Structure 1
Amino acid sequence: MAQGRGSAGAYIAVVAMLCVVNFHVANSAVFTVGDGGGWTFSSGSWTSGKRFRAGDVLVFNYNSTVHNVVPVSGAGYKRCAAPSSANVLSSGNDRVTLSKGTNYFICSYAGHCQAGMKIAVTTA
């Protein structure tokens, strides 16, 4: 019997991999930071009572003319300081996929982080 370009084993492996990827994506949750109030000065306690997993997505909704979102290290979070090389998000509707461990975010506008516009999100 003539064989095609691919083997049945390779085909099954590709299908199985796609199923695993789809399963992971289907199990990811999407959270809006601050719920209906959005990313604001009172967002710091927003994580209380929520369970996050690596791969979940945070949506930051805010007024982009007066706020931003900056993923920072733990030290940057404590100091309310973003390095000059930081990836500053500023669309007003930013989506961030959580990594395993603790993910830190601040607003880097002067005084905003110090006034409470920061969150730490720990994934399971």
Structure 2
Amino acid sequence: MGLNQHCDRDLITILFQDVDGLQVFKDGHWISIDPIEGAFVVNFGYLLEVISNGKLKAVEHRVVTNAKASRQSLVYTIFPEKEMIIKPATCLINEANPPHYRSFKVEDFNRHFFAVSNNNDEMMKFMLA
């Protein structure tokens, strides 16, 4: 079945994968992420991109089907409470590095995320200062 290309809405996603299927979009190409026994994949989400003021980018990824084996994944997400305000970390802001993202409540972010079906361009419009 797979999963269409998207960025995660959380801070961080920790993934354990047992077979091939995960791909990330880098430099205009889809790159397969081969599973490594005993290892986890860590994806940065939109909210961490905002907090890091763009130093860490949300990872655009997808899951493709594997015709040779069924795929099972264990996923753990780190996500703040809906009442929290997300904004660039103060320690990363100065005259040389102004805020690139606006402040917003997590619940407003979630509402927009689901309204635009995780459209990356629309999410960036929502998040940018």
Report the TM-score when normalising by structure 2. Answer: 0.23
Give the TM-score, by structure 1 length.
Answer: 0.24
Looking at secondary structure, tell me which structure has more helix per residue.
1
